[in-house]
Structures are given as C-alpha cells and as structure tokens.
Amino acid sequence: MDMQNRVGSKPGSGGVAGGSESNVARRERLRQLALETIDLAKDPYFMRNHLGSYECKLCLTLHTNEGSYLAHTQGKKHQTNLARRAAREAKDSATTGPDGKPRRSVIKVGRPGYEVTQIYDPVTRQRGILFHILYPEIGLDVVPRHRFMSAFEQHVEEPNKDYQYVVFAAEPYYTIAFKVPSREVDKQGDRFFTYWDPDLKKFTLQFQFKNERTLPSGRPGHFRQHDKQGSGAVNPLNPYQAPSIQPTYINK
C-alpha cells in the first residue's frame, strides 16, 4: 500500500507536522517580541474577562491565554485597527485648540430675549433695574451667569467712566450686556438678587443703586436741591434720565 496516497495526506506535503511546527514557532517568536515590547498592565485593549480568558477590546477577539493575546497584538488585524484608531484620534485632535482643550463647538443660536424694567423703592428711595433675560433654547444644564464689568474692562465701545455694564452669558446664546450708570450697587438684603427659572428658561437679576448721600442717622439722603427744581438738567442721581437702556452684544 502506498502510504503517500492515503486519504488526508497530500503527496509531497511531508505531513502536517512541519507546517504546524513552523506556525507554533512563529507564534512563539511573535509572543516573545510582544513580551519585550508590550506591558500588558498598560495595554488599554487587554482585558481579562469573567470567564478567565482574555479579550482584545480593540478588535473584540477572544484569547485563551496571554500568549495568544500577545501574538494577536502583532497580527495584521490588531495592527490595522490600531492604525485606524490613531487616524481617528488625529482627526479628533484637529478639533482641539492650541491649548489642547477641545474646541468649543457651540453654535450660537442668537440673541436672548430680554425685558428691562426700571424700579424705584419709595421707602428707601433707591432706584434700580430688574432684568429678565430669556433663553428658550439654552443648553442642557446650563445656568446663565452675570457680572458687572467696568467701562474700561470692555472693548466693544469707547470707555465712558459714567457707565458700567451688566453682562449676561449662557451657551449657546450670544453674550449680552446692558450699559448702566457706574454707581455703586447695593448688595444688601433682597435689594440684589438673581434667580434662574429652568422651566420658564428665564434668568432674573434685580439690583438697586446705593443712594449717594446717606444722612448720619443712616436714613437715605434726599436728592440734591436742584434736582427737585425741574430745571431740565440731567439728574446725576437718576439713571433713567440717561438714554434708555439698550443692550450691547459682546460677541457678535
């Protein structure tokens, strides 16, 4: 009987042992190479699963032992996936700014709505302003912010020391500022407050100016005599003889 022509063995192949041997040798060579170059503890794709075998989180392959995983990391599939991942990360990093932080990809939706009401407290004789800023399309979990900014801090208009700005900001809206007299704001008690209503999407800020003259008793002072005469002169204590309050847009 000619052994060479038995079913399952190809003529001249020399049997399966030779090929298998070189495969094992190849895998061992790759495993050794990987052992030298890869620290499994630091490999972000190496994972031991609850069944005690190993997975490549990048390629979603299963491996019965570390050696098998390491050989896989040297294979074409893993290397291709690594290259793809690197290309994607390079593309993503193109969207980060020069400081390495992600670029703000907020698309401005426009200017917020606003209502500005001038208020007067007849008891304290303080004048003030009530702002309602409307942000119907405000970003999720965004709470509007506000601050007072001096005329010299802003760079939108020529600075005028008689004015300051109340600035409101909330993504994805343009920042809006209102020019108000540069008088000291009274932060005591409920004369100054802010409130964000997330249901109505309305930010409220109310403040009152301090009266500029206070009697020694602590009672608020009166307007200066000439202010009562109706001379037509601009009353320096009354901001509302200033031009009506219109917003300035910080970032158009």
Residue 140 CB, nearest approach to Zn ion (Å): 36
The least CB distance from residue 69 to Zn ion, in Å, is 8
Indicate which single residue of 59, 116, 142, 185 sits in contact with Zn ion (rule: CB under 5 A).
59
Contacting range for Zn ion; rule: CB under 5 A; set: 58-66, 134-142, 197-205, 235-243 = 58-66
Q: How far is the CB of 77 from Zn ion (least distance, A)?
A: 6
Instruction: Give the range of 29-37, 70-78, 139-147, 221-229 binding Zn ion by CB under 5 A.
Output: 70-78
Question: Which 71-90 positions form the footprint of Zn ion (CB under 5 A)?
Answer: 78
Question: Under rule CB under 5 A, which residues in 219-248 are in contact with Zn ion?
Answer: none
> Least separation, in Å, of the C-beta of 156 and Zn ion?
54
Site string for Zn ion, 17-56 (x = CB under 5 A): ---------------------------------------x
Interface with Zn ion: number of residues (CB under 5 A): 4
Angle at 70 between CA 65 and CA 76, to 5 degrees: 125
As beta bridge partners, residue 181 has: 163
* Residue from 34, 46, 54, 58 binding Zn ion (CB under 5 A): 58
Q: What are the residues binding Zn ion (CB under 5 A)?
A: 56, 58-59, 78
